[in-house]
Amino acid sequence: MNEEQTTRLKIEGVSEFWYRPAESRTGAWVYRPAVLVECTLNYRSLRAGLNQSEEHNYTAWLPEGETAINWDQPAVIFDDTSRLSSQPERLIPYAEGNHPASAESFVQYEIELVNKLIRTERLRVFFNPVFGQFSAPGDSLEDFLGRIAEAALGRVEPELESLRNRVELQIEQIREAQARKGLRSRDEVSLDKLISFNLQFFESENRLASMFSTLAGAVFGTVAPAAENEMLNDETELRQDLQRVEQEAREALTRLYEEYLALASEYDPFDIGLQPNNVQVVKRALLWVPGEE
């Protein structure tokens, strides 16, 4: 083993680790020095009722000469500490460089990283102002809006039930009115006409049931009633009454559906930042990262 393979940078008072990449090694590799800082980030928000801790590893190439450390350019990105080894891989040499770092330098690197995290790191959740609900960390917007849709449905369901009862009452009133007309002219009511009247009620009630089967029933359309010119003259009034009830129900359902959509789709991003005491450094170390020569 030659001297190039054994000589490496050593910084007194700073521990060191070797990174083991997932990919297989091809070609000639060398170890290059980087700074590793492992942190616990604690996101807190009284408003969101959230206290979330996360552990992350941050790396940056060890500066050469008088160059400042650049935490915006990670040397390697990983949170799996099993990729850290206390021993180097055999036969990988160390790259040459001018690294006048010391233990005090590593303390300064850590301070700069913590300041950067306080300025830039945010935990984003979603907030619905109507129901005052927040998403959980890691929830997708789709999952959050699904829960909001359930809450929105609960908000409009009483109005939906009231509308259904009102429509059923209107249909029953029309039925009673037609029954009273039949009693006054019982001799003139034929079996065919009675069947036709009952069929109109049946068709209208089916269309209304289709509307109320889902909140969006009126928006997505229902079975159209038969044209009036197919009706006998004395059935026109009944058909008009039923159509009026259906149209009013359709319009009311459309308004209710639009209200539901407005409630269910409203959200705002809610970002939670970090305070200085919310960043705890677990370790700082010199990290050797292998890469192509």
The whole-number pLDDT of residue 273 equals 95
**In the chain, where the domains are located:** 3-122+273-292, 141-265
Res 244 pLDDT > 90: no
Predicted confidence (pLDDT) per residue in 249-262, tens digit: 888 888 888 888 88
Distance between CA atoms of 217 and 253, rounded to whole angstroms?
8
* Residues 211-229: tens digit of each pLDDT: 777 655 544 444 444 444 4
Q: How far apart are CA 204 and CA 198, in angstroms?
A: 10
DSSP 289: E
Residue 61 has pLDDT above 80, yes or no: yes
Give the list of residues 6+ apart from residue 183 with CB closer than 8 angstroms, or none: none
> Predicted confidence band at 234 (pLDDT cuts at 50, 70, 90)?
low
Chain CA centroid to CA 160, Å? 28
- The DSSP code for 223 is P
d(CA 77, CA 100): 24
- In this structure, the strands spanning 50-61 and 29-45 are antiparallel
Would you call 220 exposed, middle or buried from its count of C-beta atoms within 10 A (0-12, 13-18, 19+)?
A: exposed
For residue 77, pLDDT beyond 90: yes
The pair of structure tokens assigned to 57 is 């590893």
H or E element that contains 127:
strand 123-128
Phi first, then psi: what are they for 18, rounded to 5°?
A: -120, 130
Is the pLDDT at 288 greater than 50, yes or no? yes
* Chain-centroid distance, C-alpha 215: 23
Q: What pLDDT score does 11 carry?
A: 92
Task: Quote the CA–CA distance of 111 and 37 in Å, as a whole number.
Answer: 10
- Residue 259, sorted as left (phi over 0), alpha (psi -120 to 50) or beta, turns out to be alpha
Joined together, the tokens standing for residue 153 give: 């449905």
Of 50 and 196, which is predicted with more confidence? 50
CB distance 270 to 132 below 8 Å: no
Name the band, by pLDDT with cuts 50, 70 and 90, for residue 192: low
**Whole-angstrom distance, CA of residue 197 vs CA of residue 242:** 11
Minimum mean pLDDT among 74-78, 111-115, 134-138, 237-241: which range?
237-241
**Inter-residue contact 17 to 283 (CB < 8 Å):** no
117 vs 208, which has greater pLDDT?
A: 117
Residue 46, φ and ψ in degrees, nearest 5: -65, -40
Average pLDDT of the residues in 73-90: 90
Cα–Cα distance measured from residue 25 to residue 90, given in angstroms and rounded to the nearest whole number: 12
Q: What is the pLDDT of residues 64-74, one digit of tens each?
A: 998 999 999 99
pLDDT for 2 equals 42
Alpha helices in 12-96 (DSSP H): none
pLDDT at residue 214 in the model: 66
Asked if the model's pLDDT at residue 135 lies above 90, the reply is yes
